[in-house]
Structure 1
Amino acid sequence: MPLLDFFFPGLAPATSSAWPLLTGVPSIYGRLLCICGLLLLFGKYASEYFGKLLETYFTSKIEVPYSDEAYDMLIFWVCSQPFARSARTSLAMVDLKSSRRSNGRESHANKKSLHYSPCNGRSYFWHKRHLFVFERKRNQGELGFTREEACISYFGRNPNVLRELLDECRRYYLGLVKNKTCVFEHEGDRWKPSKSRNKRDMSTVIINKKLKEMLLGDVAEFLDPKTRTWYSTRGLPYQRGYLLYGPPGTGKSSLSLSIAGQFDLDVYVLTMSSLNDHNLKTLFAELPQHCIVLLEDVDATGVHRTQDSKADASQSLGQNGSPRMSANGKVSLSTLLNVLDGLASPEGRVLIMTTNHIERLDPALIRPGRVDMKVEFHLAEEDMISQLFFFVYDPHSKTVISGDDSKEELPQLAQEFVAKVPKLEFSPAEIMSLLLANKQSPRHAIASVDTWMERIREERRKFTRTNSWALDDNDGL
């Protein structure tokens, strides 16, 4: 019995209590029943023991964290394999990305097709003459959130086999996101891939040409490997920051995404309203070396100019002078400043902040060193209005222009349109909305300018009155 307990802990007490029954019960049926029970018990312990022995000494295993992009690489590859379609336990989701279209319209039969992936169990499959095991579980994580865990193993002791498989998953994933810009958002203090957008060509972003060339040239020079060496030899932090400011609808966000596509960079979007000091520090520490950190509408995040900088500094310190979270549980200004240019800020990152009201920002946030270039975006002037017109009514495209319009008349029609639209009064987004509403006929667009201008101006007057009433109510509180 002691030898049996050495190999199968806990089995000896059960067998010792059943041994008198085997020797003292005269009935053959009783002995047979006890023997069958012992065999089942022995089989249970033996299977667990040999299973752990096999997993410990004769298999290789790689675990993939849910919060890492490698998790998506593995899951996308697994879902493309035949064994995934035969899994007995699957997770079903609506696949909005692979809808098929016919004649520009989505086929009713293929509308909201379902996407299946193995879940809560093990799946065995052969790949390149090796037997692999894919395991995926869904557990209840912190604060009630569902967290997933995935791992892949194979029967063998060479870990390079698993690494080659994951490299195949990586190549498959990169093929899916080719010509796309990967956007990451945060869940708590972890980055998670959010969506992949088609790369937007820089020619489709209608802003001042000189401004665009200057900004692209500066980003290209910064990302040049020679520039990194230049910064390193002088002991300077290899980082770059831009502030894009101007009225809404002037192309700040569009230009940010186009820059990411132009230089094949991933975009990490920060939503300051849902963060605290600890989460912000952790997120910046986990940024890759080459990426774009996008902080949109920074003036609306609560990071404003303070009236008393000393008071602000004292409020950001807790007992013994240690940093503490702001009173409302949000990000404090001191923490934001530290992560932008502190030791935890990653090398090679490009920070882009956008704002509609630069006057509301604290000077410490946009001082040189944190913001290397401030770029002002203006309302549409003559050249931009002309670019927008030819962007919609491209004379070299195959788009059919209805009515009596002809592509030969486009230059003259563009001059008429530019002459009717006031300069530096409307944003490119507002002008684009007019052109898109009349995309089949440039003459209709020209004829609609007066009505459109009156409507936009009336909307602005209503918005101004609403804001003034809100300010009066606040003054009376």
Structure 2
Amino acid sequence: MGLGVGLTVLRQGVVLGSTAMRRRLLVSLEINNKDRAYEWFLAWMAHQTAHVPKSNSLFGLRSHQLSVETQVEQRKNGSSSALFKLVAGPGIHWFKYRGAWMQVRRERETRSMQLMSGTPWETVTLTTLSRDRSLFPALLSEARDLAMHGQEGKLVIHTAWGIDWRPFGQPRQKRPLQSVVLTPGVTQRIEDDVKSFLNRRQWYADRGIPYRRGYLLHGPPGSGKTSFIQALAGSLSYDICLLNLSERGLADDKLIHLLSNAPERSFVLIEDVDAAFNKRVQSSEDGYQSSVTFSGFLNALDGVASGEERIIFMTTNHLEKLDPALIRPGRVDMMELIDDASPAQARTLFTRFYEEDGLGRPELEKLATALEEIVVKEMALGRRISMATLQGLFIRNGAREAVDACRNLFVARPIIGQ
């Protein structure tokens, strides 16, 4: 009995001693998957595995459990592309960072899910000696810089994932603002208004005005509405949050949460807003009735629960279908027509496409004038051509062939506003 008691006391002493030593000698850092550093750290680990030589890579020797993260980009023309990224899977992994050994434990809670997104809760716990705790900030900074380096100088598109915003596809090259040819004066008016809004934060606060701004670009398809918004975001070093009001599972409460928690320095883009609400009736082309109500959408834009420090861009091909309550001041502060190609737009786009095509300046001006005269004559007959159509024509053909072929691409369409 004495021996048994002694062994029990010894075992408890060992347990308590080891626990005390762990508390004094080890330090742990927990990162959950709601924190942005979670994805940065996993990407940093994947980068180390892929780029460190095998002779120096401790990931390849110690990590035998991997997970795959697939990013799928669906394009409007129906094509898609997928990118696979291997990251450390659930389990225990070891690596050496700046001479210090660290243990990584990735745990996944499968019995409970996040209510909004439906994804399981996950945590990553880093453990190292207490003397090396100063390496944690350095490691996280390195992971952050690696993530930001891939987005530096590029445009990031975010989409709604449950109640969160997540990057969609790979960061894209910024499009020069001058590459989108609009009616003279339109680009400058919108750009000046956005810059003025961004510089008047305190002015809004002093007068008790909600610090948010709404823009509506309307016009026929292919006129360059979305392209202009992307170019404007790139010129201001802003990102774009793409919001689809007809997305399945999107309800009023989620919409308010998304608009109130959009990433900093980003435009919220709602395309074809007329397709989601047609005279206060929820609709979609495939007959699906969305869960977002018209009143919920209005409240999300400027209601009591709506967020501030926000810039919203909406586009529509049918201004006449929008309810007046949606486009009143306070919800839409600036509305601009982005119309089909005018003679001046057609000439400018033609010159930019072919000015380095080997044509002499006199020949280029002659062809540009001929194209401009064609647009004038066709417009007099009530026929129009979109900028997207002209761009596609110029991509496929030389200068002379493009001028000859453009006559067959005009369509009967009334001039908006006349």
Q: Specify the SS of the correspondent of 1:448.
A: helix
1:133 to 103, 117, 120: 103
* Aligned partner of residue 221 in structure 2, secondary structure: coil
Secondary structure of 1:134's aligned partner: strand
SS of 1:335's equivalent?
A: helix
The 5 Å alignment of 1:410-425 reads 410-421=364-375, 422-423=378-379, 425=384
Structure 1: any 5+ residue segments left out of the alignment?
10-41, 98-110, 313-326, 461-477
Distance 1:340-1:113 versus aligned 2 partners, 3 A rule: closer
The correspondence for 1:185, drawn from 159, 162, 172, is 159
> Aligned-pair distance for 1:212?
0.1
Which of 255, 263, 266 is residue 288 of structure 1 equivalent to? 263
Which protein is richer in strand relative to its size?
A: 2
Q: Deviations over 1:220-252 (max 9, x none)?
A: 11112xx11111111111111101111111111
Task: Mark the CA change 1:121 to 1:443 in structure 2 (over 3 Å): closer, same or farther.
Answer: same
Cα distance per residue 1:233-282 (max 9 Å; x no partner): 11111111101111111111111111211111121111111211222122
User: Corresponding residue for 2:211?
Assistant: 238
C-alpha distance 262-112 of structure 1, shift in aligned 2 (>3 A)? closer
Give SS of 1:232's match: helix
- Cα distance in 1, alignment partners of residues 18 and 42 from structure 2: 29
Question: Does the C-alpha gap of structure 1 residues 411 and 5 become closer, same or farther in structure 2, counting only changes over 3 Å?
Answer: farther
Are the equivalent residues in 2 in contact too, given 1:84–1:117 (CA < 8 A)?
no
Aligned match of 1:442: 399
How far has the Cα of 1:353 moved from its partner? 0.7
Partner letter of residue 296 of structure 1?
E
CA contact (8 A) 1:305 1:363 kept: no
Task: Confirm whether residue 214 of structure 1 aligns to residue 151 of structure 2.
Answer: no
Question: Structure 1 residue 209: deviation in Å?
Answer: 3.0
Distance 2:127 2:215 in 1: 48
Work out which of the residue numbers 248, 252, 262 in structure 2 matches 1:277.
Answer: 252
Aligned residue number for residue 429 of structure 1:
388
Query: Which residue pairs with 1:384 in the alignment?
Result: 345
- Higher-Rg member (1/2): 1
Partner Cα distance (1:300, 1:336) in 2: 14
Figure out how many residues of one structure are paired with residues of the other and give that number. Answer: 377
Q: Which amino acid aligns with 2:156?
A: C
> CA 1:159–1:220 in 2, change beyond 3 Å: closer, same or farther?
farther
Q: 2:308 aligns with which of 341, 347, 352?
A: 347
In structure 2, the CA distance between the partners of 1:346 and 1:53, relative to structure 1 (3 Å rule), is: farther
Query: 1:182-331 counterparts in 2 under 5 A?
Result: 182-195=156-169, 196-224=171-199, 227-274=200-247, 275-301=250-276, 303-306=277-280, 330-331=291-292
1:361 is aligned, of 322, 328, 347, to 322
TM-score (norm 1): 0.70
For the Cα contact (< 8 Å) 2:59–2:95, is it kept in 1? no
Shift of 1:211: 0.4
* Mean CA deviation greater in 193-202 or 285-294: 285-294
Displacement after TM superposition at 1:288 (Å): 3.4
Structure 1 distance, partners of 2:263, 2:83, is 34
Q: Once the 2 structures are TM-superposed, how far is the Cα of residue 359 of structure 1 from its aligned partner? A: 1.4
Q: How many percent identity over aligned positions?
A: 30
The answer as to whether partners of 2:33 and 2:39 remain within 8 angstroms in 1 is: no
Are the aligned partners of 1:62 and 1:162 in contact in 2 as well (CA < 8 Å)?
A: no
Deviation of residue 49 (structure 1)? 9.7
Change (3 A) 1:132 1:250: same
Structure 2 Cα separation of the partners of residues 348 and 113 of structure 1: 33
Matched, 1:149 2:110: no
Corresponding residue SS for 1:391: helix
Kindly provide the amino acid, as one letter, of the partner of residue 401 in structure 2. H
What is the CA–CA distance in structure 2 between the aligned matches of 1:346 and 1:52, rounded to whole Å? 48
Of 33, 54, 77, which aligns to 2:22?
54
**Distance in 1 separating the partners of 2:337 and 2:47:** 46
* Greater mean alpha carbon deviation, residues 367-376 or residues 120-129: 120-129
Q: Structure 2: state its 5+ residue gaps.
A: 53-57, 74-80, 283-287, 414-418
Residues 205 and 159 of structure 1: CA distance in aligned 2, closer, same or farther (over 3 Å): farther
For 2:256 and 2:9, the matched residues in 1 are separated by: 50
Task: Report if the CA contact (8 A) 1:136-1:148 is conserved.
Answer: no
- Aligned residue for 1:272, secondary structure, equals coil
Give the Å deviation of 1:218: 0.8
Query: Greater CA deviation, 335-344 or 169-178?
Result: 335-344
CA deviation string 1:155-179 (max 9, x = no partner): 2447653233212211121111111
Change (3 A) 1:343 1:166: farther
Structure-2 residue corresponding to 1:119: 89
Pair 1:95–1:328, CA change in 2 (3 A): closer
- Aligned partners of 1:427, 1:6: CA distance in 2, in Å? 86
- Contact kept in structure 2, 1:132 and 1:152, CA below 8 Å: no
Letter in 2 for 1:216: E
Amino acid at match of 1:418: E
Is the Cα contact below 8 Å between 2:158 and 2:168 reproduced in 1? yes
Larger CA deviation: 340-349 vs 134-143: 134-143
CA drift of 1:57 comes to 7.5
Query: 1:90 & 1:448 partners in 2: Cα distance?
Result: 55
What pairs with 1:72-83 in structure 2 (closer than 5 Å)?
72-81=39-48, 82=52, 83=58
Q: CA deviation at 1:130?
A: 3.0
Structure 1 residue 290: Cα displacement? 3.3
Change over 3 Å in CA distance of 1:271–1:172 after alignment to 2? same
* Separation of aligned partners in 2, 1:96 and 1:7: 57
CA RMSD of aligned residues (A): 3.5
Equivalent residue number for residue 78 of structure 2: none
1:315 match: none
Q: State TM-score, norm by structure 2.
A: 0.79
